[in-house]
Amino acid sequence: MKKFTAVILACICAVCSLAFSACDFGLGGTDNSGSGTGSEQVSELAAGKYKVTLVLNNGEQNKTVYAEKNKPVSTPDDPVKPNYLFVGWYGDASFTEKYDFALPVTEDLSLYAKYELDAVSLTNAVSQNAIKGVVKIYNKSYNTNIIGVETSYSVSQGSGFCFHVQDGTYYILTNCHVARKADGFTYQTITIEDYQGNEYTGKIYNNSAKKGDAVSADYDLACVYFKPSSDINVIKMEMISVNPVKDEDVIALGAPESQSNAVTYGKISGYGKVALSDATAAMSNVRFDIITHTAYINHGSSGGPLLNSELKVVGVNFAGSETAEKGCAVPAEKVAEFLSAYVYTS
């Protein structure tokens, strides 16, 4: 098959770091003396007043306003954060105390903007776009006798998503333990089912210029490909620079228990090591720290994408807990390593 050229991979973290340098506004008053400098105007405006720093928490620079001493500060305009709803201003960075703008200001203070995920608009966006790139993967491993009749078989089901299209061929990212032929069997058949229920025959991608078959237990990742007769959306990935951080909102897509188009929401719990209890080392042998999150996944969700609030891929789900709402995902930076080693031709 034809090799394809690398697309820019992985995922930019949706949580932006706070910019603590204040950006003053409303400071351009008239200098009646005609000789005052900008800093003098600021000092004159701030004299006898308290500074109120507005921490916007949306990627924009903080803003500074001034309040008359022992008088309330005016309520600021609601800030905007894409795919979030503004909840209110809080007096602490932990969002435990909502600020009362009727109170007099008695000292310099900082106010923190709090948001909550706009699940309705995000679900609509996921339904219209991202979910159309998610597929079910059925992996049948089997043996035959000397005349080609099946004597034994094993069938498993997982998820995957289309990350690249070239020359009419669709490339699917999934887990190694989803796509690899089961131990003890000689043959396998991979069937890919799109969001409309259409089925296609898939194959494991092989790039002879790289490491051969794109299936690795060390990453628990695999790449399969197929040629569909109808359009399937591509969930594009961009080069990652920062992994998602604790408490970042995430969305898991997949096909748990053979369901279609399942969408769950959660947050990043942290990073750690985990081993699958129902897979051999030949199928899953991840040694690096993986993402843990609270977007519930179940059997069949393995290989589905983990998205941030900008609907960009931050990981590939590969494990879930049967006793707690806990999911595990291969971080996007490791996905980039896998694709560089097994798939992309530089």
The domain that holds 308 is classified in CATH as 2.40.10.10
Say what the pLDDT of residue 303 is: 95
> What does each C-alpha distance from 43 to 27, 46, 66, 228 come to in angstroms?
10, 5, 11, 67
Q: Domain count for the chain, please give it.
A: 2
Q: Quick one: how far is CA 338 from the chain centroid?
A: 17
User: Averaged over 49-77, what is the pLDDT?
Assistant: 95
**DSSP symbol at 38:** H
Q: Do 40 and 21 contact (CB within 8 A), yes or no? A: no
More confident residue, 80 or 245: 80
d(CA 186, CA 195): 30
Q: Is residue 133 part of a domain?
A: no
Q: Is residue 53 part of a domain?
A: yes
More confident residue, 241 or 202: 202
Q: Which of 9-13, 119-123, 277-281, 319-323 has the lowest mean pLDDT?
A: 9-13
Residue range of the domain that includes 88? 23-118
The domain that holds 113 is classified in CATH as 2.60.40.4270
User: Averaged over 272-289, what is the pLDDT?
Assistant: 85
3-state SS, residue 314: strand
Say what the pLDDT of residue 116 is: 94
Which residues neighbour 246 within 8 Å (Cβ) at sequence distance 6 or greater?
A: 267, 268, 269, 270
pTM of the model as a whole: 0.79
Q: Is residue 9 part of a domain?
A: no
Q: Is residue 161 part of a domain?
A: no
Q: Is residue 127 part of a domain?
A: no
Domain-terminating residue out of 66, 93, 118:
118
Say what the pLDDT of residue 92 is: 96
Structure tokens at 119: 């699940």
Number of C-beta neighbours around residue 252 at 10 A: 26
Convert 101-117 to b/e letters by CB count within 10 Å (16 or more is b): eeeebeeeebbbbebeb
Q: Is residue 174 part of a domain?
A: no
String of DSSP letters for 116-183: EE-HHHHHHHHHHTGGGGEEEEEEEEEEE-TTS-EEEEEEEEEEEEEEEEETTEEEEEE-HHHHSPPT
Q: Is residue 195 part of a domain?
A: no
Amino acid occupying residue 130: A
Domain-terminating residue out of 67, 86, 118:
118
3-state SS, residue 332: helix
Q: Is residue 234 part of a domain?
A: no
Domain-terminating residue out of 87, 103, 118:
118
pLDDT averaged over the chain?
Answer: 83
